[in-house]
Structure 1
Amino acid sequence: MSQYDPLIDAASARLGNALRQLGLRVTTAESCTGGGIAEAITRVSGSSGWFDTGFVTYANHSKVRWVGVTEEDLVEFGAVSEPVVRAMAEGALEAADADLAVAVSGIAGPDGGTPDKPVGTVWFAWAVRDQGTTSQCRRIQGNRRDVRAQTVLHGVQGLLAELEKLAANRTV
């Protein structure tokens, strides 16, 4: 159990409630979290009403095969990059026929960091059908478990932020 679990549980419950109220479905495309965001979403009872597919694309060839990342982007930018994570989110959205997607790719450590991309570097992307894609890079501190847990939490919180924007646009 992580110290972040209560925060993840609360955010996941809020996410499920919002998805249910809006009648929307979500998907995930995950690398460094190994399915942790999908697991957090499905901790919530009734989650089959808003979640049915997630992609764990830990290896680069899986990113290409399942969520539409190009070999060219992987070679030019690396797996932990904005173009790759945006493609992951958009590809997952289409492949799962969902309304909303989150994608993450990062370096959880303790190995794998470089001067340009140190351990704790995580790229996030959130894609919303017919609304576009937003992305963000964060440098997360802590050990491997902390980096992964904080990535899950931030990924779910980002989904909530996207849903709040959608809900606000529906009331305008």
Structure 2
Amino acid sequence: MTVAETALRSVLRAHPSGVAVLTARGPAGPAGVTITSFTSLSARPALVSFALADTSSTWELIQDAEWFGVQLLGAHQADLAERFATRGTDRFAPPTAWHTGPHGVPLLDDCPGWLVCARHDRFRVGDHHLVVAAVEHVREGEAATGLVHLHGGLRPVESTIVSRI
């Protein structure tokens, strides 16, 4: 790692990132992963983006998916975020509660909000794959304290998530 990469990594650890779980139906069934790279790109049309590393085993499972679910997590779901960030576990086995949503997308229960998105475009950028997705369905759940990734750990945000487009 270069000096610049090390410095950048240190600086970005102090920048809070929202925590979400990305889900899709892969060839072998539901697949999902915790992401901190989720962001809104455009209001008109409604576009969002996320990035997954080349080394992500989940990318191999969902790279050809046309539809994605993005679950915005609340502070009460830190265990769920950890579960979907852990390699080698059946992320959709109990105690994970989920259901099949629009377009066959697996959706997690009890989230402050979720989106179902159609793949719009994807790009290889450095050691990641950047996916741009068009928002097709939105559900707003109960207001909750938000969850962010900061200084290498999961932390609550002392405000409520409002997921309106």
Q: Same fold judged by TM-score > 0.5?
A: no
- Shorter-chain TM-score category? under 0.3
* Higher helix proportion (structure 1 or 2): 1
TM-score computed with the length of structure 2 as normaliser: 0.24
TM-score with structure 1 setting the length: 0.23
Which has the larger share of strand?
Answer: 2
